[in-house]
Structures are given as structure tokens and as C-alpha cells.
Amino acid sequence: MGTALDIKIKRANKVYHCGEVLSGVVVITSKDAVQHQGISLTMEGTVNLQLSAKSVGVFEAFYNSVKPMQVISSIVEMVKPGKLPSGKTEIPFEFPLQVKGNKILYETYHGVFVNIQYTLRCDMRRSLLAKDLTKTCEFIVNSPPQKAKLTSSPVDFTITPETLQNVKERASLPKFLIRGHLNSANCIITQPLTGELVVENSEAAVKSIELQLVRVETCGCAEGYARDATEIQNIQIADGDVCRGLPIPIYMVFPRLFTCPTLETTNFKVEFEVNIVVLLHDDHLITENFPLKLCRM
């Protein structure tokens, strides 16, 4: 191995907020002295929107991908062209996380059609004979805590054959009664989603009960807008024919990076929903949908 380039961010969890100072070191390790044409460090935050083929058609999706929006960008020249000694060289850096104008530092979010990502990129330019070295490293931005007080909004639900929509032959459905509640549809992103569910009775044996966390991403652009719902994760809370009348806990941790506080901007929206999916032994699938509002406190 010749020369290795690495970026070490000071905070172990790499989480920063707007207004804070992102600091760390660039580490260059090499056996021999390194000749270079300058080392620069770039900090960049972008929102990438992608249109799904489903909502706008294949061609539009291909051609009309929306331009990435830059939220924050900054570049510094760390070292002027010259020579680095052999061994390990550490170059510290600091970036104040300040946005210009009315831009907002959105929270990091990895989705399907919407991606909000913050990166640090270190480039070492070298002479023609040697390849340039590049190292990228993602850091995470969390939006500031919400100022307004969180109102808890408990949701009670009852699922019976009668409450279902989209049923073709209601008569062929086995009888069942499932009751339950979510402790709140307004969730703090760092706290799990909680609640309880009781299978009061069911003619058919229960095969499985699952919680499906879904993201709903909306992209607006010149041609209109596209709205897509995709699954983030699926958590099984009951397996097999559970005991009737006993409460089964609903408990789901929101995954990091794949969730963010519910976001609504002029160009795009990111919202979340949870589905309670009951699978019966005769392969009937019953789904109940609950929109969620995530926030950070």
C-alpha cells in the first residue's frame, strides 16, 4: 500500500446540528514522503430527488430527474502543493454549519426517491504519474428539536370484517375481532412506537401479525408531482395462533437514517405511515393503515 487518506470526525456518532462546528482530522499515512499538488476538503449537503417510473412514466423518469439541490457547500484548501513527510500526518479541520439565505439544513434521510445527504470529501491532487486520492465520508445532520409542545394523539382501532374496505366477497371472510390502540400517532423519532393489540376472537387461526413501517415521498416538479409509498421495515409482533384476549405489545424502534421528522417543503415531502398487517392461516391478509407524524424533541 502506498498512501492512505482517511477522514476522522471528532464525534463518534457523527451527528451534528445546524450552527455547530463540524471538526475532525484528515489522516494521511504513508511509508515514504508524499509529493502532492495540494489537498482540499469539501463539505457538501444535497437533496436528491428522483421521479419514480410508476408515477411519471419510464421516459420522464429517465430524462427528467430533478437537479440535486445544494443545501450547504464549502471548500477549503488544507495544504498548499508540496511534500508531506513519511509516516502519519494529521491535519485538523473545522467547518461551521451555517446556511446562507433562507435555506434550511434538513435532517439526513436515506429514502428511495428523496435522499438528503451530507458528505465530507478530501482530495489530494497529485502529479500526472500518480493517481489523485479521494476519500469521502458521510456525516449526519439532525434537525433542531421542535419548539412546539408535542401533543399526544392516541389512536384506538377495531378491526372486524365490517370495517374493511376493498373486500370483494365479504361473506367468505372468517369472523374476527381485533382491538387495539397506538399510544400516539405523533411520535418522537428517538422513542419507539408503542401500543397494544388484542385478538379478541378469530375463527381462522392467526398466522402472523406484523407492523409495516412505510415512507410516503412526494416530489413536486414542473410537470406536476409524484407520490410514492414504499416499505422501510417490517416487524413481526405475533407469530402463530396467539392466545385470544391477551394484549400483544406493539413496539417498533424507528431506524436511523431511514426515518426523519416528517418533512414538508415546497419541492418535496417525506411522510410516514404504519400498517398493521394480520395474516390469517387461510392466507387472508388484513391491513389497517395509520399515518404517523414524526418529530424530534
Partner 1 sequence: MIVIFKYRKACQQEAGRELFCIGSHKELLNLTQQDYMNRIEELNQSLKDAWASDQKVKALKIVIQVSKLVYERILSMCMDNRNSLPDHFTPESVNDTAKETCLNWFFKIASIRELISRFYVEAAILKCNKFLSKTGISECLPRLTSTIQGIGDPLVAVYARAYLCRVGMEVAPHLKDSLNKNFFDFLLTFKQIHGDTVQNQLIVQCVEIPLYLTLYSPAIDWILQCIAYHAPEVLLTEMMERCKKLGNNALLLNSVMSAFRAEFIATRSMDFIGMIKECDESGFPKHLLFHSLGLNLALADPPESDRLQILNEAWKVITKLKNPQDYINCAEVWVEYTCRHFTKREVNTVLADVIKHMTPDRAFEDAYPQLQSIIQKVITYFHDFSVLFSVEKFLPFLDMFQKESVRVEVCKCIMEAFIKHQQESTKDPVILNALLQVCKTMHDSVNALTLEDEKRMLAALINGFIKMVSFGRDFEQQLSFYVEARSMFCNLEPVLVQLIHSVNQLAMETRKVMKGNHSRKTAAFVRACVAFCFITIPSLTSIFARLNLYLHSGQVALANQCLSQADAFFRAAVSLVPEVPKMINIDGKMRPSEAFLLEFLCNFFSTLLIVPDHPEQGVLFLVRGLLNVIQDYTWEDNSDDKVRIYTNVLHLLSAMSQENYIYHVDKVDSNDSLYGGDPKFLSEINKLCETVIAQILDHLKTLGKDETLKRQSQLSLYFFNSILAHGDLQNNKLNQLTVNLWNLAQKHGFADTKTMVKTLEYIKRRSRQPEMSHFAELALRLPLQSRT
**150, 84 Cβ separation under 8 angstroms:** no
Cβ at position 97, least distance to partner 1 in Å: 20
Q: Counting contacts by CB under 8 A, is residue 251 touching partner 1?
A: yes
**54 Cβ neighbours under 8 A, 6+ residues apart:** 226, 228
Least distance in Å: CB of 253 to partner 1?
4
**Is residue 282 at the binding interface for partner 1, with CB under 8 A as the rule?**
no
Pick from 19, 174, 255, 291: which binds partner 1 (CB under 8 A)? 255
| Residue closer to partner 1, measured from CB, 49 or 193 | 193
**Minimum separation from the CB atom of position 56 to partner 1 (A):** 31
Measured between alpha carbons, how far is 117 from 47 in angstroms, rounded to an integer? 7
* 98 part of the interface to partner 1, by CB under 8 A: no
Task: Provide the phi-psi class of 88: left if phi over 0, else alpha when psi is between -120 and 50, else beta.
Answer: beta
| C-beta closer to partner 1: residue 140 or 164 | 140
Identity of residue 61: A
Residue 147, classed as helix, strand or coil, is coil
Rounded least distance, CB 153 to partner 1, Å = 23
Residues 66-85 that bind partner 1 (CB under 8 A): none
Residues 58, 42 contacting (CB under 8 angstroms): no
Binding mask 197-216 for partner 1 (x = CB under 8 A): --------xx--xx------
Which one of 127, 247, 282, 285 is in contact with partner 1 (CB under 8 A)? 247
Measured CA to CA, the distance from residue 253 to residue 187 in angstroms comes to 11
What's the CA gap between 291 and 294, in Å, rounded?
10
Q: Give the residue, chosen from 69, 78, 130, 248, that forms a contact with partner 1 under the rule CB under 8 A.
A: 248
Instruction: Kindly tell me which residue out of 2, 57, 174, 240 binds partner 1, with binding defined by CB under 8 A.
Output: 240
Q: How far apart are CA 24 and CA 6, in angstroms?
A: 11
Tell me how far, at minimum, the Cβ of 258 lies from partner 1, in Å.
Answer: 9
DSSP 207: E
- Contact flag: residue 249 with partner 1 (CB under 8 A): yes
For residue 44, the minimal CB distance to partner 1 (Å) is 21
DSSP secondary structure of 226-275: EEEEEEEEEEEEEESSPPTT-EEEEEEPPPTTT--S-EE-SSEEEEEEEE
Which residue ranges make up the site for partner 1 (CB under 8 A)? 11-13, 205-206, 209-210, 233-243, 246-249, 251-253, 255-256
